[in-house]
Amino acid sequence: MSSSWARIGVATLGLIGLTGCAEVETVKAPIDIPSRIYTANESSNDVSVIDATSYAPVGNIDSKNQSTHDIAVSRDGRRVYATNLASGRLSVMDAGTMETIASIYTGQRCHVVALTNDNKQAWVANIGDNNISIVDTETFRIVGTIPTGKGPTGLTFSHDGKYAYVSTQGDKTVDIIDTATHQIVKSLQVGANPHFLVVGPKGYIWGTNTGGTDIYVIDPATQEIAGTLEVGAKPQQIAFGFKGMQGPNVFVTVGGTNKVAMVPADPKNLKVLEEFAVGEGPNGIWANPEGTRIFVGHDKGNEVRIIDTGTGQNLGTVAVGRKPIRVVVSR
């Protein structure tokens, strides 16, 4: 047992209604964790776990909360952090024991979570409070709060960790935050209901306007919009991969067409190269480390489809919990 867990001790999972207070269970000795696929399942209030090599189901982790929406996995693969919209709490899960070991109230309708580059903090966007809560990943305590625009929904960090990018659905902007000072240094107008954000090749920040039909790219050098592209109604989330030797490419789940659009990961050459038909309600998406497979969660089919990025072929389908919103692959 690590010293941090020893300091926290043992507590029950009864509700604690104070901001920044964590509910903690006993943590067993760490074990080696293989690469896994995780899905956040909003209607079953859990996280499904799939072996990333065999694609065999491993099990489900109860979030101990309501409306599990987003997840982030630590770099060593030992911790899974899950937001819960209805509860306003961040669940901390042990990937080895597959148990929720802490539950931290962060704010109303906590939507997404992102880990800082050093994994020492989890930043949580709270839609209802218009702010970011900063959680220490050792103590499970809130150590800071940053005001944002209205309705923060997306969150990612620059490659160097100096900036955080937060999309706000109410203001239709991306707020750029200095991670050292916690001050907003710039806000960019982007489009209708900006939702998902992710950092990609060469440090460009990619985002989706789920209330519209387009995606956009932010240049980290200028902190300006470098390009936009129409991909279809309700673009949801983004992953990066290759098509044979071609790439890197951007793969976008498009909820309005039930397809995945493939786009060059080059803001100077934005165009739809190809579209893959997938199941109903594609939402979460992630690629394997080689970029040869994408894993697409379908929030209406309660499944993850495994797609060959070279051929667009569906290699298999794995049943998961109800309404999978987010897909993440560890290591």
For the sheet containing 163-168, what is the strand order? 152-157, 163-168, 173-178, 183-189
- 301 is a domain residue: yes
Q: Which range of residues forms the domain containing residue 328?
A: 234-331
| CA–CA separation, 150 and 69 (whole Å) | 19
pLDDT tens for 185-217 read 999 999 999 999 999 999 999 999 999 999 999
Across the range 308-319, mean pLDDT stands at 94
Predicted TM-score of the model (pTM): 0.90
* 235 contacts 263 by C-beta, under 8 angstroms: no
The enclosing domain of 258 has a CATH number of: 2.120.10.30
User: Residue 91 above 60 pLDDT?
Assistant: yes
User: For residue 149, what is the DSSP state?
Assistant: S
- 67 is a domain residue: no
Would you place residue 34 in the very low, low, confident or very high pLDDT band (cuts 50, 70, 90)? confident
Would you place residue 82 in the very low, low, confident or very high pLDDT band (cuts 50, 70, 90)? very high
| CA–CA separation, 288 and 301 (whole Å) | 22
Within a 13 Å sphere around the CA of 66, how many CA atoms are in the beta-carbon half? 6
* 320 contacts 303 by C-beta, under 8 angstroms: yes
Task: Please state the φ and ψ torsions of residue 93, each to the nearest 5 degrees.
Answer: -120, 140
- 75 is a domain residue: no
| CA–CA separation, 203 and 159 (whole Å) | 6
For the sheet containing 246-254, what is the strand order? 235-243, 246-254, 259-264, 274-277
Average model confidence (pLDDT) across the chain: 91
Across the range 295-312, mean pLDDT stands at 95
- 307 is a domain residue: yes
**Residue 194: predicted pLDDT:** 96
User: For residue 199, what is the DSSP state?
Assistant: E
Look at residues 60, 105, 62, 112 and name the one whose alpha carbon lies nearest to residue 87: 105
Number of domains in the chain: 1
Across the range 307-324, mean pLDDT stands at 95
- 271 is a domain residue: yes
Q: Tell me which H or E stretch contains 5.
A: helix 3-8
pLDDT tens for 128-149 read 999 999 999 999 999 999 999 9
* 252 contacts 235 by C-beta, under 8 angstroms: yes
- 239 is a domain residue: yes
Tokens of 133: 């809560």
Distance of CA 287 to the CA centre of its chain: 13
- 149 is a domain residue: no
| CA–CA separation, 318 and 279 (whole Å) | 12
Lowest mean pLDDT among 10-14, 212-216, 242-246: 10-14
Quickly list DSSP for 278-326.
Answer: --SSEEEEEE-TTSSEEEEEETTTTEEEEEETTT--EEEEEE-SSSEEE
How far is CA 127 from each of CA 86, 169, 263, rounded to the nearest angstrom?
11, 9, 30
- 155 is a domain residue: no
* 323 contacts 41 by C-beta, under 8 angstroms: yes
